[in-house]
Structure 1
Amino acid sequence: MVNEFGSTLKRLREQKGYTINQLAEAAGISNSQISRMENGLRGIPKAPTIRKLADALEAPYGELMGAAGYLEDRDGANHAETTPEWATSKDKRDFKKMLEEDGELMFDGIPLDQEDKQRIKDVLTGLFWEAKHMNKRKKNNNGNPDGP
């Protein structure tokens, strides 16, 4: 997953004609961090970092989120492995429930369009799995036998 993200990031950067330093400046991320991502020496970045990279590259956010393993394709196939290995069936059920609640999404009293809703869903996907993983690690560090 890390290598897929890194190679996707590098491909998009090179397509844009950016050096690592140019991308770093455009995204507000250090050049060493970008280099480590591209070379698979850094873990998968968080959703807000991926958003910065996508915006700087004028690339589809979903493509980078998919390469990072956070998203599924529209047909339901995983880009990488969307659901972390440590996720239980209860975790998966909780996640599905969170995403499928059909309330009207609004910002400042204005309903969001589909693109904005998808962006929010993409960010929530990353944050949800990150929070679940952190909670599982906390339980393990407190002596709880339920592990990832």
Structure 2
Amino acid sequence: MYFYDKLKDMRKLKGFTIRELADRSGVSAAYISQLENGNRGIPSPDVLMKLSEGLNKSYSELMEIAGYLESAPSEQTAQHQSSPVNLRRFLRENDLMFDGVVLTPEDKEWIERMLTVLFWKERQLSKSDDNLSGDN
């Protein structure tokens, strides 16, 4: 199966029209149509990044399908061997995008605060559950 067939299948599985994928990814509908019809070659890694965001698929998966990367022997094995990423540092140190919008430092700070509140609340609930059950 060729890249253009796989791209079309991914888009259809998500239930997106070409126009919807274009709006979500920032890649023109005309270009996506040409890709899906096999009238264009393999897109650049930059375009694949945009398409991965629009399709909500991993960038590495699209890079593999396009032939830029070799497939990993087992995704699960790789996930278990990697060390956890410090999410707070990741938010602060990377340029991030959500639904095609680049996050500002204020956006990232807001996300960090929301996560802090969520995890603090969860820890407090866990502590009160432990106290109620007598597991001090």
TM, length-normalised to structure 2: 0.52
Q: How does 1:35-114 map to 2 (within 5 A)?
A: 35-75=33-73
Q: Could you list the runs of 4 or more consecutive aligned residues of structure 1 that deviate by over 3 angstroms after TM superposition?
A: none
In structure 1, list runs of 5 or more residues that go unmatched. Answer: 77-109, 117-148
Aligned-residue offset at 1:43:
1.0
State the distance in 2 between where 1:67 and 1:47 align.
Answer: 12
Paired residues in the alignment total 78
Match of 2:29 in 1: 31
| Structure with greater proportional helix content | 2
Distance 1:19 1:9 in 2: 12
Task: Answer with 1 or 2: which has the greater Rg.
Answer: 2
Tell me the TM-score normalised to structure 1 length: 0.48
Q: State how far apart, in whole Å, the 2-side matches of 1:63 and 1:7 are.
A: 15
Cα distance in 2 for partners of 1:66, 1:4 equals: 12
The Cα shift of 1:74 comes to: 1.4
Residue type of the alignment partner of 2:70: E
Offset, 1:75 = 2.7
Task: Give the match's secondary structure for 1:72.
Answer: coil
Aligned to 1:16: 14
Distance 1:20 1:35 in 2: 7
Distance in 2 separating the partners of 1:75 and 1:25: 34
Where structure 2 has 5 or more consecutive residues not aligned to the other structure, the ranges are 75-88, 95-136
